[in-house]
């Protein structure tokens, strides 16, 4: 086992999972490109890559830098926080709910913005009027959970560790 780990760099389970993911990706590619118009799939993937790399990446990089500047969180990644621990950045407690909420918006924006035809209601028997409210509730819950996680982390970091406080 140690020889395998030294040669491969990880456990056999890791290799098995990587091979399974390659197999699943290959299967999905064959299914996607085996349709009537595979060139549409290729155009969609290339367009998505260009949209992400040329528009979205610079946009959310600038937004993240602006948030770091406004929140006073601009510091080197390896820098330690006040308690001496590395990675004490609380900007991540804003990034995660923003990312998840944005991903939900990107995925369901026609429903959230009410840009669906009458056929949606006929086919799904669901009203399209509820998605904006639900997305706002989900976003609020994500931010609340992130705030609770931050408060828990801050309360734990303020407690004296073993051997640093008063003796019993």
pTM > 0.85: no
**pLDDT tens, position by position, for the chain (168 residues)?**
788 888 889 989 999 999 999 999 999 989 988 888 889 989 988 999 999 899 989 988 998 888 888 877 655 554 444 544 444 577 889 889 999 999 999 889 888 998 887 888 888 888 888 899 999 999 999 999 999 999 999 888 877 666 555 555
Give me the residue spans of the domains in the chain.
1-34, 37-74, 89-157
- Of 44, 23, 19, nearest to 33 by C-alpha is 44
Report in angstroms the alpha-carbon separations of 110 from 42, 102, 113, 115, 131. Answer: 23, 13, 5, 5, 9
């Amino acid at each position: 086992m140690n020889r395998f780990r030294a040669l491969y760099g990880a456990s056999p389970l890791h290799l098995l999972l990587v091979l399974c993911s390659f197999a699943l990706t290959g299967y999905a590619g064959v299914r996607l490109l085996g349709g009537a118009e595979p060139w549409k799939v290729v155009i969609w993937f290339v367009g998505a890559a260009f949209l992400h790399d040329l528009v979205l990446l610079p946009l959310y990089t600038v937004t993240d830098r602006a948030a770091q500047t406004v929140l006073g969180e601009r510091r080197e990644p390896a820098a330690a926080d006040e308690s001496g621990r590395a990675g004490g950045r609380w900007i991540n407690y804003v990034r995660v709910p923003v990312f998840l909420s944005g991903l939900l918006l990107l995925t369901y924006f026609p429903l959230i913005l009410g840009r669906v035809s009458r056929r949606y209601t006929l086919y799904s028997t669901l009203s399209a009027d509820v998605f904006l409210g639900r997305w706002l509730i989900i976003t609020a819950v994500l931010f609340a959970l992130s705030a609770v996680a931050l408060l828990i982390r801050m309360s734990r970091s303020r407690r004296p560790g073993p051997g640093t406080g008063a003796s019993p």
